[in-house]
Structure formats: structure tokens, C-alpha cells
Homo-oligomer: A and B are copies of this chain.
Amino acid sequence: MPYTYAYPRPALTVDCILFGYDEGDLKLLLVERGSEPFKGRWALPGGFVQRNETLGDAALRELAEETGVGKVYLEQLYTFGDLDRDPRGHTVSVAYFALVRPDGFTLQASTDAAAAKWFLLRKTPPLAFDHKKIVETAVERLKGKVRYQPIGFELLPKKFTLSQLQQLYEAVLETEIDKRNFRKKILSMSILKPLGEYEAGAANRPAQLYQFDRKKYDAATKSGFLFEL
């Protein structure tokens, strides 16, 4: 059955917010637009949903096409439908977001994107469309999510120190956290496996490396455990 346009339809797009964390800084993945509107501006990777394509599939496809990033776990954020958000006309966009380790991917722009690049989250250039608003919404969501879900483990390398984990939380929540209390809390959940290995090369006492223990976390979650910081 061919598409029938019984009613005029808004266009439907998806946009991806990818947060990364690297050396103490939160980062955001942006692409430089290669075509109008907003040619030359930076924007969130995204584009039109194709016929018989799932929203999540569309988001993954656009992300891969425009940045080379693949196989990430995308979570739906919010749907934006302001009438003036796209100069081409009524366009509704479903936003997705994900948390990744930037060094796990090689960026590769193509199709509509002239370039793809990580920016410091607190130092992003002016964005196309209403993407500033979308990013703000995503940051709020991230701040909320961090409190009851162990996001740290998606943003850090597989092996990490407790100080790195703490710094991440401080960066996301924009607060300071007491070292002893933080360690006590995190370790008491016993979802971290101490590796007995130690960080090397620093001009100070080397820190023990830990690993996220997903098995224990999943088991604990099922039996009513609630991660909370």
C-alpha cells in the first residue's frame, strides 16, 4: 500500500545527543552542517526518519552516517515540536541521547555532515535549529539520571580509579563531594570489583583500579536494589 497523504503531515526527524567524558571534562558530539539550512553551523547529528523505519533505527543510522559512531545504547529523551524550530517548515524531532567514551570511536563525517567533532559541553558553539534547547533538556536529564543509575560506567574506561569516578560525578552534578563518604557509599553497594591492579606513571601513590560488576548490578537491581547517590 502506497503512502496516502490524506492530511498534510509535519516532517519527522531524529536528533542524537552524545555525551562523552574525557580527562575530567564532559563533552558533546556535534557535526558541522554541510547543507542548508544552517550550512556551516554546528548541530546535533540527526535527520529525517525514513519510510518504515523505527525511531531508534533512524537515530542510529543518522548517527553512523554523520559521525561514524555506531552501536551505542540510545535512550529517548523528548520530542520537540515548536512550529518555528525548522525554517523549512513544520518539523517535529524526536531526540535521543547516549553516554559513551569518546576514545572508543573514530569520528568520520559523511552525507550531510562536513565534519564531526567533540566539544566541551560548557563551551559549545552556537547551534542550528533549536538544538541549544535540546541540549539543555538533555543535560537536565543527565543530572537526574546520574542519581539513580550508574552512568559512570558507560562514560569511563573499563578500568578506572575511584577518584576518576568521583570526578565524573562532580563534573556532571557540578558540585563537590566528600572523598570518604563517596567511597563508602559506592563500595557499600558492592557493584565494583577491585582488580588488585594499580595505575602507573603518576607522580604520586598509585590508585587501585576497579571495574564495574554488571552481573552483581543486574542481580541487585532485580531484587529491588536502588542505586542512589
Contact = CB atoms under 8 A, between A and B. Distances in A.
A32 to B, nearest CB: 22
A202 interface: no
A42 to B, nearest CB: 24
Contacts of A52: 83, 90
A89 interface: yes
A220 interface: no
A82 interface: yes
A56 B80 CA distance: 10
A204 interface: no
Interface string A42-61: 00000011111111100000
B92 A55 contact: yes
B94 A79 contact: yes
Contacts of A12: 9-10, 12, 92
A94 B53 CA distance: 16
Nearest to A144: B148
Given A3-B89, A9-B12, A54 B82 contact: yes
A201 interface: no
Contact of A81 (B3, B48, B55, B81): B55
A8 interface: yes
Given A54-B82, A79-B94, 15 more contacts: A3-B9, A7-B48, A8-B50, A8-B51, A9-B9, A9-B10, A9-B12, A9-B49, A10-B49, A12-B92, A53-B83, A55-B81, A55-B92, A76-B79, A79-B79
